[in-house]
Structure 1
């Protein structure tokens, strides 16, 4: 079925059903890490929108349907000597999801966030209308307002985006630092150099490792981190490494960065029992959803007399305040390791309405684990501490996980007046939840 036929069928279905229940998507995967209230929804089955439609090698751009996972998109582009300018870390993330949320990776110091690499968006609005939004047409307000809207303004069913040329291999170098100030100075210098990829990991307050990747035509060897060996451990073991470009792009997926340890999947015996086909973010997410439903680990912690709180967040902090944030985080939260990825706006002359970022180099801190304490604390205590410090330091956090902002603060940070204007124009009947309801109230 052609894209146009699929689009007509879906839009007609949406228009015919009326507004008796809020909208939601029927799809196979989700990379949201907030438990949502169970309620009746009108589920739109968008799973068929998962094809790469066009690749223009000369123009370095591609057109793709919104539910296409990055694993499929990368496999389509690599034979043409291209990759998406920003490839989020997990294979199951869809490009439409990254456009409606916020996607980042080790090229973001050069190309910004995923939504900054987009050139046009075909969006199904909550009332069944379909509009094409570009940076300079009559729907440019939606083009710049769609990122970070999480489906509350509609769904991206087709996108055109920037591609960049690749070479067959990536040479990765890892440099160790004992002082955060020296680490962030080196990170800034790397972003001004010739590296194709820059990111880092904080293993301890006095152990920070900066990684730089360069495309190369040949490699004396290549490492395989898709089964027995674990990528993040290699940062502490090797100064130089080589991976195929595909394996480099998915270096974090096999072990969900390092979160596979929570499933015992870093134990060699468990690893062999699971097999290569289950060592990936899709399988881990399924296990996480199961645990969220049945509360197994929560019950175990209660039996052990431990209070727990999931702190799963990505926050963007101006580089000038990175040391201060890290010091706070070690003192108050204590989760390790921490991913550190530099990011700055791709273009300094535009602003995205719902995810405003200053025109300066930022550090994305990613931390995904559980805080366990013997003493009691209020629900959301550690997440609220993080939100307060991010706001104090002039940063911004992604909304894919738990958020605790009060409503006034939320709309101050995430473009309240502009969002209300977008909502009135593109969802006048209120068929989709608003951003605060969805991301904070979890409705």
Structure 2
């Protein structure tokens, strides 16, 4: 495995060196979980197909060496064989470990374990200067290590990572706890984050769904080896509907980790996959987030939704696909505003807190000791002729800022340069980029996230 990695790394360095100065640099990846359009590149991207392997798993040290383009589907397959899992497993199978670090990832263990980059012990990066360096929390490249999360390839591309793992049981017992007001929900999230318990029972994973005002759920997960019949939501049954239908459940750990992937949370409904007849005919192997993502890509390319709306005389829709974080005590404020101004439900809720030993991550500066709640919402809202200007997305950005929150950059952003630099520490990004990309061969984060180049 080590020889294969060195061979792939050498080939990548040669590819990079062959790109003429001034030419745009990007990766050629089989899958993507980004939702921001970008200009078409004239040249093919860097071939990173050789970086898809789990290199080793150390069950005693509870660590894993893994190449950056390895999907979490493959990574989890390798670690579960040892009764271990990454500290945070983002909810979609084709998210790559490198993508979750240079971008951001989150899941139900984030109230205990923070974000995926916090469990990285060592990071190998092809920098903008064409050199490969190994960055750790301390040492010569510590500055790159801290700034790399949320840099989206503006400082370089990860090629290999060493990450922490944690033990996990064979199954996961779930409790779906309903709340009728956000004050009670906020108090419960804060209590569980502090104590890692609810009503005397251990909590290993926590996320939630806000179906409507007054219908709010926290799903509390507990790793267990207790015997029992497990549920299957990869066939006719749909996971998110079960939250409203039952108070307890039992899933295998594998199925729990991918419970949201089968129906892309609830977004598979846009393709008719939740209709009983269509669902029966739709093969299991195609009930996957990457399949739905490709369908969305076709819609964007051929403007199918816009044409159908125009033909039916409906207002043009604005795509509102975002994940934001607000402090837990501002969650109710955000949901109230969101209901009034956007009106999209359900939305996903995922509490998180930075790990106690976590360093400062300047490119996504969450406060140490503060509990946040990620709110995820993905859909399209009738707006009218101004839809292409992103009025709702712009309003969301302003509201999140007002509530002392942050917004992920995997989707469209509209910030002006000064605001963007203030939110994502543009001064530090520029200083680190000057060191590791002195000739500006890589696009800046603002170019990538806002100018969509």
Q: TM-score, normalised by structure 2?
A: 0.96
Q: In structure 2, what is the equivalent of residue 87 of structure 1?
A: 89
Q: How does 1:13-28 map to 2 (within 5 A)?
A: 13-28=15-30
Q: State the shift of 1:306 in Å.
A: 1.2
- The counterpart of 2:330, out of the listed 321, 326, 342, is 321
Q: In structure 2, what is the equivalent of residue 435 of structure 1?
A: 445
Greater shift, 425-434 or 185-194, is seen at 185-194
Greater shift, 15-24 or 382-391, is seen at 15-24
Say if 2:189 and 2:328, in contact at 8 Å, map to a contact too: no
Say if 1:21 and 1:40, in contact at 8 Å, map to a contact too: no
Q: How does 1:354-433 map to 2 (within 5 A)?
A: 354-359=363-368, 360-373=370-383, 379-433=389-443
Say if 1:21 and 1:42, in contact at 8 Å, map to a contact too: no
Q: State the shift of 1:378 in Å.
A: 6.8
Equivalent-residue separation in structure 1 for 2:263 and 2:223 (angstroms): 23
- The counterpart of 1:339, out of the listed 342, 348, 364, is 348
1:111 aligns with 2:107: no
SS of the residue corresponding to residue 80 of structure 1 reads coil
Q: State the shift of 1:14 in Å.
A: 1.1
Compared with structure 1, are the counterparts of its residues 44 and 240 closer, same or farther at alpha carbon in structure 2 (3 Å cutoff)? same
Q: TM-score, normalised by structure 1?
A: 0.98
Greater shift, 160-169 or 15-24, is seen at 15-24
Equivalent-residue separation in structure 1 for 2:417 and 2:386 (angstroms): 26
SS of the residue corresponding to residue 380 of structure 2 reads strand
Greater shift, 328-337 or 32-41, is seen at 32-41
Equivalent-residue separation in structure 2 for 1:2 and 1:289 (angstroms): 33
Q: State the shift of 1:349 in Å.
A: 5.3
Greater shift, 249-258 or 267-276, is seen at 267-276
Say if 1:190 and 1:212, in contact at 8 Å, map to a contact too: no
Query: 1:191-226: per-residue Cα shift (whole Å, max 9, x none)?
Result: 222311001000001100111000110232100011
SS of the residue corresponding to residue 225 of structure 1 reads coil
Q: State the shift of 1:189 in Å.
A: 2.0
Equivalent-residue separation in structure 2 for 1:140 and 1:278 (angstroms): 42
Structure 2 unaligned blocks of 5 or more: none
Tell me which stretches of 4 or more aligned residues in structure 1 moved more than 6 Å: none
Equivalent-residue separation in structure 1 for 2:347 and 2:241 (angstroms): 13
1:237 aligns with 2:245: yes
Q: State the shift of 1:66 in Å.
A: 0.3
SS of the residue corresponding to residue 219 of structure 2 reads strand
Query: 1:38-64: per-residue Cα shift (whole Å, max 9, x none)?
Result: 232451000110000111111111110
Say if 2:123 and 2:134, in contact at 8 Å, map to a contact too: yes
Query: 1:153-187: per-residue Cα shift (whole Å, max 9, x none)?
Result: 11111001110100000000001111111112112
Query: 1:132-158: per-residue Cα shift (whole Å, max 9, x none)?
Result: 000001000000000001111111110
Say if 2:317 and 2:387, in contact at 8 Å, map to a contact too: no
Q: In structure 2, what is the equivalent of residue 99 of structure 1?
A: 101
Equivalent-residue separation in structure 1 for 2:189 and 2:372 (angstroms): 11
Q: In structure 2, what is the equivalent of residue 181 of structure 1?
A: 183
Compared with structure 1, are the counterparts of its residues 398 and 287 closer, same or farther at alpha carbon in structure 2 (3 Å cutoff)? same
Q: In structure 2, what is the equivalent of residue 31 of structure 1?
A: 33
SS of the residue corresponding to residue 81 of structure 2 reads helix
SS of the residue corresponding to residue 171 of structure 1 reads strand
Equivalent-residue separation in structure 2 for 1:376 and 1:423 (angstroms): 36
Equivalent-residue separation in structure 2 for 1:150 and 1:393 (angstroms): 25
Q: In structure 1, what is the equivalent of residue 285 of structure 2?
A: 277
Q: State the shift of 1:17 in Å.
A: 2.9
Cα RMSD after superposing both structures? 1.3
SS of the residue corresponding to residue 209 of structure 2 reads strand
Compared with structure 1, are the counterparts of its residues 141 and 306 closer, same or farther at alpha carbon in structure 2 (3 Å cutoff)? same
